[in-house]
Structure 1
């Protein structure tokens, strides 16, 4: 009998291995297509099939999938956002070509352009911050003056908080504008910049599969002006009315953007006027979101997503109700990581579900002010928020590291 394969476009350091294991449990053979498979440690460690191919070239991907069809029956195609949501749009194009289940690539493309996303949300009255599009420094200055400092300045396309900064005065505004326009950011050609009102308030994120709001998390950030997550809590501590309002706005976002197939995560700030949409991401949230959903509710979002992709019946029913949380491990300086240890002691603390390290000794630590600053995380769960917080505090105390600053 021909093996059924699940094609994975690119990989993900946080949830890539979880997709592989879930696929294998479902009787599928995972095949990763990547421009550089060696960047994903789990592919080598688990001796998984990975093929080097230009993943920015849809025609090249189609040719490779056609070649794979000589060996496997392709049950489905999906991918990750570690290198940008453009890969998820490519997934949609491949699914259309091979007549497989997948997201609408046009909707993904509209959504990943944050200015277009803002315009579509505005047309349907979805609450969001004031915003302006800029392509040069004078545009940024004018937009900030119209909106009023402080403002959020970020690339119109990107993910993982890359290039996102709170500019509190004209000096910070000029500095960050130069950083984006001078090509230091990953988007190097003709950068389009969004200048947005800084919506103050609690951060929440709604996780959705299809048109079902699975749950809503809360998160805290490190110090300004960057937005580096320091802790996630699942579920967020919300009143029934707050939960309903966020869920209602989330579904309005799906309608406005033509989404509603597969996973979506929508970021909010609970401001003085209620839930304000910060960003709609047309994909599953990265680590530790799927792990926390499973700890909190017993729902394996990754397995259920794969079931949707291959046409199997999925199940989003909650099996229990706990409070899960993750504490991110973030470096306090740049330099060379001499050592990091204590993970085994932290993992042994009752209630700890996972200790994940992304770096090891001799790693070069260069803080970017975004998701790439994470060195790892500790996750835990219990029946109550207070108990979960206590577990995390005990576990994180075991983990230590030393970084030698660069002398150059």
Structure 2
């Protein structure tokens, strides 16, 4: 009898290992298809089968899956968006082609284009920030004038806060527009910039599986103008009314966008006019968010997602209640990472669940104002928020690193 395999299109630094381990626990053989498998260190570290294939070429992916079907029983196909949100739509198309459970690719594509997503949500009566789309500097300037400063300026397609900036005055607006259109930002499609109202208030992340709200977390960022992750707390402290309104708005997003299969992550801010939707991501949030949900509620989003992908029944029942918090370690300057340490001492603090460094010493650090500025994270959990935060701070205080200036090659 052929061995059951699950195909993983591309990989992910955080969620990739979680999917590999969950698949193996379920008795599946994970196979990664990637344009560059070497970029995912966990594949070699965990001896995961990986095949080099152009994942932008749909026909090439079909051929590779057909070839694998001669050896394996392919139980399901899923993948990771990473920097390229189009992977999620590709996965949906592959599932359709091979008659496997999967998301609706048209709904995924609508979500991946933030401008199209905004239009659909606004037409459905969902509260979103005021927005305009722009293709050149003059468009950006007039859009910002119409909306009124400060504005958020970001690529219409992208993830991880890449290219996203709060522009508080005309100088910052011009500077960021030049950055986006001047060749420094990598565009995967023709440049389109979303200029939108700065919705102010606490930032919430809502994890949904199917049509069920699993949990609501609160996300804090480092100082503006960029949106670099600082701390994620699950669950967020909310009144029953706030929880109900956030859940209702989140589910209305799914109805408007034609989602409801598998995982969805909604991000919104609670403003003076109530919940305002920032974006809807038709996928699992990146690590460490799934780990926090598991610590807080006992629901393993990754394992339950894989069960859905292979056509098994999932189990979304909560088994316990804790407060889990992740704190990102963020580079404070550019340069060469000389050393980083204290992880073993931090991990020994009672209540600390994980200490994870993303970078090794001698790694060059060039801050981008997005997720790439994070060099690690610490997770803690306990029965109370106050206690969890105290545990986390104790652990973070034990971690230190040194970033030294780059050598001046001109001297």
Asked if Structure 1 and Structure 2 have the same fold, meaning a TM-score greater than 0.5 normalized by the shorter chain, the answer is yes
Structure 1 ranges of 4+ moved more than 3 A = none
Q: Is 1:144–2:144 an aligned residue pair?
A: yes
Does 1:303 find its partner at 2:264?
no
Structure 2 distance, partners of 1:99, 1:190, is: 32
Q: CA deviation at 1:183?
A: 2.5
Q: Which residue of 1 aligns with 2:233?
A: 233
Per-residue CA distance 1:225-273 (angstroms, 9 max, x = gap)? 0000100000011111001001000111001101000000000110000
Q: Which residue of 2 aligns with 1:341?
A: 341
Q: How does 1:39-188 map to 2 (within 5 A)?
A: 39-187=39-187
- Equivalent in the alignment of 1:280: 280
Tell me, yes or no, if the aligned pair for 1:334 and 1:365 is still in contact at 8 Å. Answer: yes
Unaligned runs of 5+ in 1: none
Task: Report which stretch shifted further, 372-381 or 179-188.
Answer: 179-188
Contact 1:209 1:260 in 2 (8 A): yes
Other-structure match for 1:201: 201
Q: Say if 1:162 and 1:244 are closer, same or farther in 2 by CA, change over 3 A.
A: same
Contact 2:356 2:378 in 1 (8 A): yes
Q: TM-score if structure 1 supplies the norm length?
A: 0.99
The equivalent of 1:293 in structure 2 is 293
Note the 1:296-335 alignment, pairs <5 A. Answer: 296-335=296-335
- Are the counterparts in 1 of residues 6 and 30 from structure 2 also a CA contact under 8 Å? yes
Question: Whole-Å Cα distance in 1 between the matches of residues 406 and 390 of structure 2?
Answer: 35
CA-based RMSD of the aligned residues comes to 0.8
CA contact (8 A) 1:290 1:302 kept: yes
- Stretches of structure 2 that go unaligned for 5 or more consecutive residues are none
Contact preservation (8 Å) 1:380, 1:392: yes
CA shift, 1:189, in A, is 5.1
Alignment correspondent of 2:13: 13
Number of residues of Structure 1 aligned to a counterpart in Structure 2: 408
The answer to whether 1:361 aligns with 2:358 is: no
Task: Say whether the 8 Å CA contact 1:183–1:189 is kept in structure 2.
Answer: no
Q: Distance in 1 between matches of 2:267 and 2:189?
A: 27
Give the equivalent residue in structure 1 for 2:392.
Answer: 392
Q: For residue 254 of structure 1, what is the aligned residue in structure 2? A: 254
Query: In 1, are the aligned partners of 2:83 and 2:160 still within 8 Å (CA)?
Result: no
Stretch of structure 1 that moved more, 81-90 or 385-394: 81-90
Query: How far 1:398 moved relative to its partner?
Result: 1.2
